[in-house]
Amino acid sequence: MTMTTQALAPCPILIGGVWSTPQTATTNKVYNPSTGEVIAEAPMCGADVVDAAVRAAEAAGQDWAETPPAERARILFRYKMLLEDHFEELARSVTREHGKTITEARGDVRRGIEVVEYACGAPELLKGEILENVARGIDCDLVKQPVGICVGICPYNFPALVPMWMYPLALACGNTFILKPSEKVPLTGIRLIELLVQAGLPKGVLNVVHGGRECVDALLTHPKVRAISFVGSSPVAKYIFETGTQHGKRVQAAGGAKNFVFVMPDADFDNSVTGLIDAAFGCAGQRCMAGSTAVTIGKAADRLLPDLARAVRAITVGPTDRDPSAKMGAVISAQHRDRVVGLVERSVQEGASLLVDGRGVKVPAHPGGFYLGPCVVDEVRAGMAIAKEEVFGPVLNVMHVEDLEGAMAMANEVHFGNGACIYTQSGKAAREFRHRIKAGMVGINVGVPAPLAYFPFSGWDYSFFGDLHLQGREGIMFYTRQKVTTSRWFRYGEGDIWHKEK
């Protein structure tokens, strides 16, 4: 069998412990963004496949819910060790189907494993509460029970991390799960679940389907699905939330962002440049925590921009799956590249200037790759499209504001609320920023303030729809229902030995 034939094998689904390839009317091509080659095809599943997955999850649900939390944790411990054993394989898979660098791919996998580690604490995380004598002779206790069948609908930008935001906690809490990886990057997700099956997860506890709108709608409306986790763009997150809740499901839907990085005149400029480079151009800007807008305060621009421009021009762009020297890879598709280029060109038409223009980047060895070089757009103003829309590409806007007060007022007008950062040596400025900025995740001299697994990924406003966020204790709360029992006993039973002795 040739490499091409192997690469084009259809992506399987997993239902009731059986991997198979469904016969669907359409498939979605999966690309290697570094080369533009098609490496797989994902079946676009419909309501019939979704229903089969739900029925398999339902059949496995009662026994899994009754499995002691310590036993569920042991499976997750074995899974964690398998993830470590296959760490480099998983990172290479991420790089191949997404296009991010191997260093970024390792981070993708590592942060996902950290969620599995957190989920291994299920016996502690699922402990309830009790209070004696809430009234005389009356006790009250609270236990956490699974919600039932849960669904994870994932984006393309973190093929390993985002799925692992979801199913490890859901399984630890005693739920069954249906995973829908992004149809653009399904291969890593499939491999993650193969390893989970190898770790000893019972059949039907986790099922995998692929698809687009039809598949998602079937998951959102199926009467036996109880909870939906989603990560993606804000318009879709809003749709997921509204549709899911209208059909009686609890929903956590993380959306897009427009994250600001403030640079004060007293900042450490070397570290500010390094932080901005990572925040804006890491993963080619395709992440909801990207620092997409630098806001220079006062005279900070005079010191920041020359060094920033030099550092951006030095970023090497290339095929991340075969060139370890490449510091930035391709974007996910040709269509997405064209959209990002269109926003950059529109910004120039609206009066901005290009401090660094990456539109003409060439990778001669791989002319079919979806490459766009890093761009720095200066003199961006609040009314421009590029200042309001999530670009999701290797583009850094630069805005100039005279003082911190005006900068915060400007940033707080934006309807997104994921992340915001400040570079400063002033404790007072940092404290005012942290207290008053309208964003759920804040960085002080940190360019990408994405929290670790034991804290919630706490986006605000148009960046999140729902009440309980992904990760941390909020994740545990999302995947459990609380049952409160109030107990009162009037007399001893007739056969009570202790009562007879009295």
Instruction: Compute the distance between CA of residue 149 and CA of residue 144 in angstroms, rounded to an integer.
Output: 16
Q: CA 491, 492, 498, 501 torsion: positive or negative?
A: positive
Three-state secondary structure readout of 437-470? CCCCEEEECCCCCCCCCCCCECCEECCEECCCCE
Length of the chain: 502
If you search the block for the tokens 């879709």, which residue do you land on?
A: 236
Q: DSSP state, 336?
A: H
Whether the CB-CB separation of 436 and 409 falls below 8 Å is answered with: no
| CA angle in degrees (0–180, nearest 5) for 151-28-233 | 50
Determine the Cα–Cα distance for residues 347 and 334; give it in Å rounded to an integer.
Answer: 20
DSSP string, 337-386: HHHHHHHHHHHHHTT-EEEE--TT---TT-TTS-----EEEES--TTSHH
Q: How far is the C-alpha of 220 from the C-alpha of 360, rounded, in Å?
A: 42
Q: Is 283 a catalytic residue?
A: no
> What CA–CA distance (Å, rounded) separates 305 from 448?
20
Q: Which residues pair with 28 in a beta bridge?
A: 42
Of these residues, 150, 173, 283, 288, which one is catalytic? 288
Select from 298, 384, 326, 395 the least CA-distant residue to 355. Answer: 395
Distance CA(24)–CA(465), nearest Å, equals 32
Which residues are catalytic, by number? 288
